A and B are shown apart, each in its own frame.
Chain A
Amino acid sequence: MTVMTDDTLPATRRSIRDEMIVFVVMAALLASVPLTGIYPFFVMQALCFALLACAFNLLIGYGGLLSFGHAMFLGSAGYFTAHALKEWGLTPELGILIGTAGAAGLGVITGVVAIRRQGIYFSMITLALSQLLYFIYLQAPFTHGEDGIQGIPQGYLFGIFNLAQPTVLYYVILAGFLGGFLVVFRAVNSPFGEVLKAIRENEQRAISLGYKTDHYKLLAFILSGTLAGFAGSLKVFVAQNASLTDVHWTMSGEIVLITLVGGLGTMFGPVVGAFVIIAMQQYLAGFGQWVTVIQGVIFVVCVLTFRRGIVGEIAHYLRRSL
């Protein structure tokens, strides 16, 4: 009995149609960004975090599993992609493939360990696992420790698209984001997604109905980790570096914050949350540590008074699922 979302409507044809309409509007808006003169770097960064948060939300919002270590997928995939591009001189598509596949492998290994406990223990285990990886990366030579991997060449995607050009890069990132979003959308609205929701609501009952819940949870964890890794690989092309910040627990906290602000268990919440939080960080960059304090305050306020998040509140008001 999770009190995560109080209005869990089954995925009816209408709700799926609503979500598709919102998706098309979102895609159109995002596609027109380069025409508006908005700083594309900001939007690209927000899109990477949005995809990351969508992947995270697949676990918490639909599976009821709060991962406090999702930064490990972001950071690991970033390191793998950066290393492949810079040291091995591979093409961007191969770099992304290596990063994402690496995150998937990591998802298999960590997932087998983490899903052995539920609830609060799951969160602590994922946090501890990501801290373990943090220390490994801190000492491993290929990550260059505190310096990180810097000056990563962007190259030509599929030999045609010049990723050094901001507009081209923007559309590549946008395509990656939309593709990843559709994967989450498809997973949530599939029989697999329905079983996940059943596990979230009452795992014992799902087991007694004959579902091997551990398999579903592991699959969800791997899928989520892979997508988070994909976001990490894309982020390398935007930031042109890979550093320890992306593996640190503060990053995992940020992912949780983004999803909480947007709305746990909503389709579009993580996207809205990512834009809100990344914009906030941009504007408050000059305030130093106060950013941390403000993030903490947002956590407290959200948990105490605003548990549905922005999109969750809108959906509740409109009585739709978004």
Chain B
Amino acid sequence: MQALYAQLLVGLINGSFYALLSLGLAVIFGMLNIINFAHGAVYMMGAFCAYFLLNVMGIGYWPALIIAPIAVGIFGMILERTMLQWLSGLDHLYGLLLTFGIALIIQGVFQNYFGSSGLPYAIPDELKGGINLGFMFLPIYRGWVVVFSLVVCLATWYLIEKTRLGANLRAATENPTLVRAFGINVPRMITLTYGLGVGLAALAGVLSAPINQVRPLMGADLIIVVFAVVVIGGMGSIMGSIITGFALGVIEGLTKYFYPEASNTVVFVLMVLVLLVKPTGLTGRATT
């Protein structure tokens, strides 16, 4: 049973990353109509940012948790201003191709300087050790990742669904021209949205740095799984992305315990099943 709970925890942690990443993808897709293929690359950049902050400037985990997402978010906003904005009005596919190119550049540059092996990042002192819960041993850091990710996800949901800013955002998604007529600076909002989505990915990167080592390709394979998560959940609802992300992480964890051979593929197999039964995705509207 110990092993089962341990795998469930690993599943929840992966689920946190799926949720944070698919949430960012959904927010970006809503505003920019672009599937951000560079999402895995910015997740990796977040982890590397934390690594540099610690090893070059001596800045620890807690400040990095704030600095890295902001730094990478600003990088994302520069990308949006210099490149992505020129694609508005073109077919969705060009956004995918452009961000794929950006991902190749970012990952290639990091691979050149850091190879493919992982760099260690220590767990901060405050979160070292674990608690014995009776039925299992819970490493504090892992518990922290799950709880913190959940809080961030819910905060993002609140921001978008319940605040005035979020209302403007959702309105601009529906009809940007009309929202502009009300005097709201929609292009700036689009830039900030992209920064927010990218920042969420970078945050996930920082969280994962002490668990999975910091590697140039850490986001490359992850992003494909997240795409499958997005196909399963649909991008129509923020809460849907969060729930699907966590649920799939847990299912993956259970698979690791009961049938480890399929743990790499279970999310993709589920995607196929969902497409056969309910092609629009679990929460999605029939958007194309």
Contact = CB atoms under 8 A, between A and B. Distances in A.
B90 interface: yes
Contact of A117 (B102, B106, B231): B231
Nearest to B276: A113
| Interface majority SS (helix, strand, loop, mixed), chain B | helix
Contact of B108 (A68, A118, A296): A296
Interface in A256-273: 256, 260
A85 interface: no
Contacts of B264: 135, 138
B98 interface: yes
A187 interface: no
B275 A116 contact: yes
Nearest to B234: A121
Contact of A132 (B87, B94, B103, B268): B268
A217 interface: no
Given A135-B265, A136-B265, A120 B93 contact: yes
A125 B281 CA distance: 12
Given A113-B272, A288-B112, A293-B112, A128 B101 contact: no
Interface stretch (B45-53, B176-184, B222-230): B222-230
B100 interface: yes
Given A135-B265, A300-B83, A304-B86, A120 B98 contact: no
B275 A300 contact: no
Given A120-B93, A304-B86, A296 B105 contact: yes
A224 B261 CA distance: 31
B230 to A, nearest CB: 7
B231 A125 contact: yes
Contacts of A296: 100-106, 108
Nearest to B109: A293
A300 B231 contact: no
A292 B224 contact: no
B166 interface: no
Contacts of A2: 91
A4 B90 CA distance: 8
B231 A303 contact: no
A213 interface: no
B241 interface: no
B112 A290 contact: yes
A128 B231 CA distance: 9
Given A3-B91, A290-B112, A113 B275 contact: yes
Central interface residue in B29, B112, B231, by most chain A CB within 10 Å? B231
Contacts of A293: 104-105, 108-109, 112
A127 B275 contact: no
A132 B266 CA distance: 9
Contacts of A68: 96
Contacts of B227: 124, 127-128
B268 to A, nearest CB: 4
A123 interface: yes
A131 B268 contact: yes
A127 B261 contact: no
A303 B94 contact: yes
**Best-buried of A121, A297, A299 by chain B (most CB within 10 Å):** A121
Contacts of B279: 116-117
Interface centre among B89, B261, B265 (most CB of A within 10 A): B265
A155 B163 CA distance: 70
Interface string A118-158: 11110111011101100110110000000000000000000
B170 interface: no
Task: Pick the most buried of B93, B106, B269, B279: most chain A CB atoms within 10 A of its CB.
Answer: B93
B92 A300 contact: no
B102 A129 contact: no
A298 interface: yes
A32 interface: no
A123 B230 CA distance: 12
B212 interface: no
A40 interface: no
Interface in B48-103: 83, 86-87, 89-94, 96-98, 100-103
B220 to A, nearest CB: 8
A66 interface: yes
A138 B264 CA distance: 10
B283 to A, nearest CB: 14
Contacts of B224: 127-128, 131, 249
A159 to B, nearest CB: 41
Contacts of B90: 3, 307
A113 B275 CA distance: 6
A119 B83 CA distance: 21
B110 to A, nearest CB: 9
Contacts of A302: 97, 101
A91 interface: no
22 contacts: A117-B231, A120-B93, A123-B35, A129-B272, A131-B221, A131-B224, A132-B269, A132-B272, A253-B104, A260-B97, A292-B111, A295-B101, A295-B104, A296-B103, A296-B105, A296-B108, A299-B100, A300-B105, A303-B98, A303-B101, A304-B86, A304-B98
Given A116-B279, A304-B86, 8 more contacts: A117-B280, A124-B231, A138-B264, A260-B97, A299-B98, A303-B87, A307-B90, A307-B94
Pick the 8 closest A-B CB pairs, nearest first.
Answer: A299-B101, A296-B104, A292-B108, A296-B105, A293-B108, A132-B268, A116-B279, A124-B227
